[in-house]
Structure 1
């Protein structure tokens, strides 16, 4: 039986589970609206701040971060991009994003955004609890739900609140706290994975290159003028040990078909590829946001941007509920977010299936992929559609 330290119990308006971009940004937006929150994170601060994830920020994401005072370092250190390359048949074909849309995307690592958000929240007196454990959500259909957890010292606490925001990712406890059968799940697993490396080397091109080759997909990206981010399509049963540095670089050179700048590998990951959505994104007083509610394959660069879009909608809905008792925005939260989510899911699926070599694909399917690629880079209408989705559709 767990005994709670009554003196350690607390009351807040919004309990936020997860200190990734979704949870931290939500806490910041609520603070700007005069709403208290507590953020609970199972990892320690150092881990959260060095966890390398997404790096492409849509134009609406950058606009919002500037609007709420979180973009000072992004504007100094982020890398503006005005186009991307689609590479196939050993040729680069540029899609001029800015010329087609009037908007720009920015390359700035998710871990850097997280650092900026943590610093801003702590400077403002925000309450972030790192290294917590045994997080359990209670009474989700009541007007006063709660969250229990153990802190880093093993002391048990209870947070009583008005609302719980589940921002703890695909494997977090929030979505699993909803009774079985309540949420409808849409899931698609792709027959390949991504092996990603972060190399201490200058980028080999000023813009991202999405490469379709007979050996499989590859991506050239970057995080700074001195750090290159590179990805390979690999078998989902592979493990990182299967890919020593020499093999990674050799495969990258073969797929791209030109010399890349090499350097020491300072980080690597192997990630499965899937599309996943749950509907609705709410159960009682629990609201799901970001990866807790949906996953996209990274080909479309949408994951972090969808999380930002979710909490922009959620923060406004909670402000209306907690300040004036209005329920219309919380009632429409899920439907509003899911319209953008499904558009991003489709775009990510389109990019993934156009660029990756599916195991067992016959020559007919391979020719269809090349036809789509050629059409995309030769048709202004097709290129504009890709550019609009890639740079980011407006937030709701």
Structure 2
């Protein structure tokens, strides 16, 4: 695994780095760090590997600035991700080097004596290792979520994630309500991991575009107290749940249920987004607890299309708003008066539109079945629109 040069610039040791050229190359991947800091060797090429970020004082070019261009050209040829120069001998580089680096989208930084090579190496290496570990954890969670594993394997993976997990647990999944920002998420995860309130039997990790939190206990959990426990946990960690969509799994009593619990938290988080709520528990999401796990099934998709496509086709052909009416009708639990008030229309207009929808679906005589099927189809539509 690796990080980008841009992500590296967020590290503490990089805060005094000045990017002098190569802005368009900040998306280059950094997999390790190397040093170019010895007497000039005629052929630098081949000494570094693709993805290596190089730091140097340019000692080999102390009295020979013309050597810098050939060195940079060799680094670029090797696939090096960037170069950071300590300003012992040079505060900048010759213009021909700037032009060459710019043409190849190669980032070059200058930094001062307040930063030591060993500190850069340590922090950047630790960051790359951390990313590797995060990727490994995410792969383990993916296996729990996506694969049909036996109980023994699930338990094994759970203890690989955290050897201190207790048997009684529940899972939280948290995502920002606004557009996903990986930098904000990374900062939040770092702050959470540093918080002393995070006990050893709990784990917090990055998963997909959010944070996955597994909270375990020595005693059984009461289902109706999970939301309060979650909000208490967020408060200790300084997380503002109002800014997030949070999904809470049910209470579980065996680590071999971890995969199911993670899925429950994911489904609850998605439902919180659909409902415009900050926090949803799996036990409270109703029919979505059935629709979420199976919405990608062919039969589900075909049912959705069979119910809703005739309505959409009619709207497109006659420039009507039957589909919008259907959505509001379901939001208002099939109540004509409440639907009319929500759409600022007369109740007879709503009755006419609902009657038209029934006609399009050939359900004029199927009162109960009509609403049941329309409601399911509209809920599937919301899921597909995520």
If the length of structure 2 is used for normalisation, what is the TM-score?
0.22
If the length of structure 1 is used for normalisation, what is the TM-score?
0.22
Query: Which structure has the higher relative contact order (CA within 8 Å, separation 6+)?
Result: 1
Q: Which has the higher strand share?
A: 1
Larger of the two Rg values belongs to structure:
2
Q: Which has the higher helix share?
A: 2
